[in-house]
Chain A
Amino acid sequence: MTLEPADIPLLEVKNLGLRYLSASSPAPILHDVSFELGRGEILGIIGESGAGKSTLGNAIIGLLAPEFQRTTGTIQFDGKAVGAADDSGSSNVRGRRISAIFQDHTASLDPLMSVGAQLEETILATNETLSRRDARARALELMARVGIPEPDRRYRDYPHQFSGGQRQRVVIAIALAGSPDIIIADEPTSALDATVQKQILGLLRNLVEETHVSIILVTHDMGVISEIADRVLVMRNGRVVEQGVTSTILEAPRNAYTRGLLAAVPRLRISKPVPEKKTGRARTAPSSDCDHKSPTVTAEGVSKAFSPQGLHWRPHQGTIGFALRDVNIQIARGAITGIVGESGSGKTTIGRIVAGLDTAPAGKVTIGDNAFDVSQNGRRTGLLGRVQMIFQDPAVSLNPRMTIAETLRESIRFGAGLAPGEERPDMMAMMDRLGLARSLGDRHPHQLSGGQKQRVAIARALLARPEIVIADEPTSALDVSVQAEIVQLLKESITERNISMIFISHDLALVQDLCSAVYIFRDGRVEDSGPSDFIFSQSRNPYTRSLIDARPHRFTH
């Protein structure tokens, strides 16, 4: 670190306490938070949702809503106190010397302004003495700096013409416009795919090395922290539970909560040669047996074009692109098969087609001995309902107006076909099995935590007594410490019922942990496939390799 011994720290937060003045009762948000940030340092702030990490970031930058009230402590920036509620000078400090990058790169940019104009505007706002011509030159320089190819040509392009990763680069360029001392990056890569995430983190690291800017990186992802942070602040319920140098925290965490967070991160094993499967997973077929086992689900030749948006009297002329191109997959009976891919790879689409929720103009799905036409004409052939799904975001997968018991009873009555009034034993047994207190039955979804909601979603899927379950990113909307529990529960309850499962995920380590076979999707095609052990240790497919390499190294062994 470049912090000179004699220097006072660039940013010093001392005993900061904040509370939220709501209508009912003032709720404390931050307790006694203290830390220092040196010049050219990357400080990671990690915690789960509700830990107060974003509020802390906003307090430093001075973007807190008026309902937040500082109860204790000080924030010193470059030796001067900032961030007090009555401090009118803070906006000056904010724009020029502390800037911010937010998670949602789409919302951070004005869709009706070219990126060049947005950059220029920010540059002029932070430095009034510059001429337009100089501002433009500086904008081009910044675009090149953040790695946007051909800045001259892209200058007049609008945000929608850029990919997600490039948009986030533009946001970073805007944050750099005022040559800030500190950049507060709030989940800067959470909305990006793994390979892009790695590039953006690399860019941030380079910026720090070359310009000595300091970065406060707010995230929930241990992987991101391990990649670039110099020091870490672990937060929980508004308190700092542990802070220190990243490698120390990762290797020897002292706090139990930090240990839990670290243990919850799935780790990728790429050691070759592959050892024999351990006992206790006897039902999982050894890789070589996979092909001999009769597949319970197959999808053959499934192709689907992106449907044109809006209403058209006639089918759209000309094809825009393919969501799926001639996809063939086989799901072994009683096993868990993984489908991995980045966003837009078609992994969710194939899941929805197999479940009968979506149609495809070409292709066939076979379940057991029954073949189903997945085209529009075949909608009534009864594919819908053979497969149950567990969806990504439990916040929207449960009807907010129905109680938990009503939701589960509906599944038993309509999904499994039991007569009304006979649902109770099934429901109670399932709630007990999934660790849901029976008293939750009378609650509505908004009264449950994310993990509880996802348990209800699993219960709903299993109570319909399906042969096949498709889980579409079932943990990515959950906090890290809950993810492991949910995955474990899902795995156990699937195997003990001898149900086959398709597990759709972007997380390689999770898929490796759960699945006996893997399909890797890319741009609507099956890019690579095979037994899990083979894919992760021996596959020579360059795309598969790049996915594995994109994993933070600390969580790969």
Chain B
Amino acid sequence: MKAEIIRVLGKPPYGPTLTLSKIVLAAYVLLALAAPAIAPQNPYDPLQIYGWEASSPPGTTGSGGYIYLLGTDGLGRDIVSSILYGLRISLLVSITSAAIAALIGLTAGVSAAYFGKWVDVAIMRLVDLQLSLPTILVALIAIVTLGPGIDRIILALIIAQWATYARVVRGVALSETGKSYIDAARLMRLPTSRIIFRHLLPNSIAPAVTLIPIEVGHAVALEATLSFLGLGVPIDKPSLGATVANGFQYLLTGQYWISLFPGLALVGLIASINLVGEDVRRRLDPRSRSI
């Protein structure tokens, strides 16, 4: 019994759970890419929206000649189409921000380790400061300062996430810096940039790279939260989180579908990214391989 609990809870996902999350994640990505082709409606195009069909329950046949499978929102937008288009925005924002944050964080962490002294102190105190505040607070402050817009929210997410990478990579880079191949590189009088990017970074990067999928999951959730608070993407180009927020006020009047279905889509997305991300981490990180 105890072994069973450990098997289910204590280990990374595997077997059917993992296979299912891989299929789900792949489906999400495909749906997001194919959204313009398969969505019954373009929710960004006012001409395709029929305002008088606002808040139709699931199953209503609309004026466009198709059935609103999941109903429409308060503006008459098809929920299915909103989810598909929202997915695009959510994935774009989270993947872009996680990738750029990784790039910045890795460079900062490796530089801190290699240069040491005041460079290290400066970068790592900034990281400490950043990590001592809740991520959502950092993102909130950033977005309030920067203003709305998709590019701004990407920037805010980068600001909120780079520090994690920097901290992880610094530790590894610090031990790599002590190895004699770095001394040998210095004796060759290699340019500092070459030592960092050709020698130090490739050997320090592995644990930090395994963070990327997990951080993408975080970014989706973070973006959804910001959007839900009305501070995220612009209202005319809603992400999943913004779509949930749009329906929030209708929940009390019984029009549950506007928030519920995008919310479920969001939960499914984050869960599948996290499960697959955990698997990627387990495969890439040699320290956890034996577990």
Do these two chains really belong together in a complex? Answer: yes
A interface residues (Cβ-Cβ under 8 A, vs B): 311, 313, 352, 355-357, 384-385, 387-389, 391-393, 396-402, 410-411, 414-415, 457, 460-461, 464
Q: Which of chain B's residues have a CB closer than 8 A to the CB of A460?
A: 184
- Least CB separation from A406: chain B residue: B198
Q: By the criterion CB–CB under 8 Å, are B121 and A311 in contact?
A: yes
Q: Which of chain B's residues have a CB closer than 8 A to the CB of A461?
A: 184
Name the one of B120, B183, B188 contacting A464, with C-beta atoms under 8 angstroms.
Answer: B188
A289 to chain B, nearest CB (A): 31
Q: By the criterion CB–CB under 8 Å, are A410 and B181 in contact?
A: no
Name the one of A398, A401, A410 contacting B188, with C-beta atoms under 8 angstroms.
Answer: A410
B109 to chain A, nearest CB (A): 15
Q: By the criterion CB–CB under 8 Å, are B187 and A385 in contact?
A: yes
Q: Which of chain A's residues have a CB closer than 8 A to the CB of B194?
A: 414
- Residue interface mask B117-143, A partner, CB < 8 A = 1: 000110000000000000000000000
Q: Does B237 contact A (CB under 8 A)?
A: no
Q: Which of chain A's residues have a CB closer than 8 A to the CB of B187?
A: 355-357, 384-385, 387-389, 415, 464
Q: By the criterion CB–CB under 8 Å, are B181 and A414 in contact?
A: no
CA distance A385 to B190 in the complex (A): 9
- Having A401-B202, A410-B185, one finds 17 other A-B pairs with CB under 8 Å, namely A311-B120, A311-B121, A352-B183, A355-B187, A357-B187, A387-B187, A389-B183, A389-B187, A397-B181, A399-B181, A399-B199, A399-B202, A402-B198, A411-B188, A415-B187, A415-B188, A457-B184
CA distance A94 to B242 in the complex (A): 65
- Residue interface mask B159-195, A partner, CB < 8 A = 1: 0000000000000000000011101111111100010
Chain A to chain B: the 9 pairs with minimum beta-carbon distance, closest first: A391-B180, A385-B189, A397-B180, A396-B179, A401-B202, A415-B188, A414-B188, A399-B181, A414-B190
Q: By the criterion CB–CB under 8 Å, are B184 and A391 in contact?
A: yes
B128 to chain A, nearest CB (A): 12
CA distance A446 to B133 in the complex (A): 42
Q: When A311-B120, A311-B121, A400-B203 are in contact, do A385 and B188 touch as well, CB less than 8 Å?
A: yes
CA distance A87 to B114 in the complex (A): 52
B interface residues (Cβ-Cβ under 8 A, vs A): 120-121, 179-181, 183-190, 194, 198-199, 202-203
B284 to chain A, nearest CB (A): 15
Q: Which of chain A's residues have a CB closer than 8 A to the CB of B188?
A: 385, 410-411, 414-415, 464
Q: By the criterion CB–CB under 8 Å, are B179 and A384 in contact?
A: no
Q: By the criterion CB–CB under 8 Å, are A415 and B189 in contact?
A: yes
CA distance A457 to B97 in the complex (A): 41
Return 5 A-B CB contacts under 8 Å, by A number. Answer: A385-B189, A397-B183, A410-B190, A414-B188, A415-B187
- Least CB separation from A415: chain B residue: B188
Q: Which of chain B's residues have a CB closer than 8 A to the CB of A400?
A: 181, 203
A-B contact count (CB 8 A): 64
Q: By the criterion CB–CB under 8 Å, are B184 and A389 in contact?
A: yes
Q: By the criterion CB–CB under 8 Å, are A401 and B203 in contact?
A: yes
B120 to chain A, nearest CB (A): 7
- Least CB separation from A385: chain B residue: B189
Q: By the criterion CB–CB under 8 Å, are B203 and A357 in contact?
A: no
CA distance A391 to B198 in the complex (A): 20
Q: Which of chain A's residues have a CB closer than 8 A to the CB of B203?
A: 399-401
- Least CB separation from B116: chain A residue: A311
B138 to chain A, nearest CB (A): 24
- Least CB separation from A388: chain B residue: B187
Q: Which of chain A's residues have a CB closer than 8 A to the CB of B198?
A: 399, 402
Q: By the criterion CB–CB under 8 Å, are A391 and B183 in contact?
A: yes
Q: Which of chain B's residues have a CB closer than 8 A to the CB of A385?
A: 187-189
- Least CB separation from B120: chain A residue: A311
Q: Which of chain B's residues have a CB closer than 8 A to the CB of A357?
A: 183, 186-187
Q: Which of chain B's residues have a CB closer than 8 A to the CB of A397?
A: 179-181, 183-184
B208 to chain A, nearest CB (A): 15
Q: Which of chain A's residues have a CB closer than 8 A to the CB of B181?
A: 396-400
CA distance A60 to B223 in the complex (A): 59
Name the one of B120, B121, B180, B199 contacting A396, with C-beta atoms under 8 angstroms.
Answer: B180
A466 to chain B, nearest CB (A): 9
CA distance A372 to B188 in the complex (A): 18
CA distance A460 to B188 in the complex (A): 9
CA distance A402 to B202 in the complex (A): 10
Q: By the criterion CB–CB under 8 Å, are A414 and B189 in contact?
A: yes
Q: Which of chain A's residues have a CB closer than 8 A to the CB of B180?
A: 389, 391-393, 396-397
CA distance A388 to B181 in the complex (A): 12
CA distance A398 to B190 in the complex (A): 15
- Least CB separation from B189: chain A residue: A385
Q: By the criterion CB–CB under 8 Å, are B189 and A384 in contact?
A: yes
Q: Which of chain A's residues have a CB closer than 8 A to the CB of B185?
A: 399, 410
CA distance A313 to B188 in the complex (A): 31
CA distance A415 to B198 in the complex (A): 16
Q: Which of chain B's residues have a CB closer than 8 A to the CB of A414?
A: 188-190, 194
Q: Which of chain A's residues have a CB closer than 8 A to the CB of B186?
A: 357, 384
Q: Which of chain A's residues have a CB closer than 8 A to the CB of B202?
A: 399, 401
B256 to chain A, nearest CB (A): 51
CA distance A173 to B67 in the complex (A): 83
Among A356, A393, A410, the most chain B Cβ lie within 10 Å of the Cβ of: A410
Q: Which of chain A's residues have a CB closer than 8 A to the CB of B189?
A: 384-385, 414-415
B112 to chain A, nearest CB (A): 11
B225 to chain A, nearest CB (A): 35
- Least CB separation from A394: chain B residue: B180
Q: Which of chain B's residues have a CB closer than 8 A to the CB of A393?
A: 180
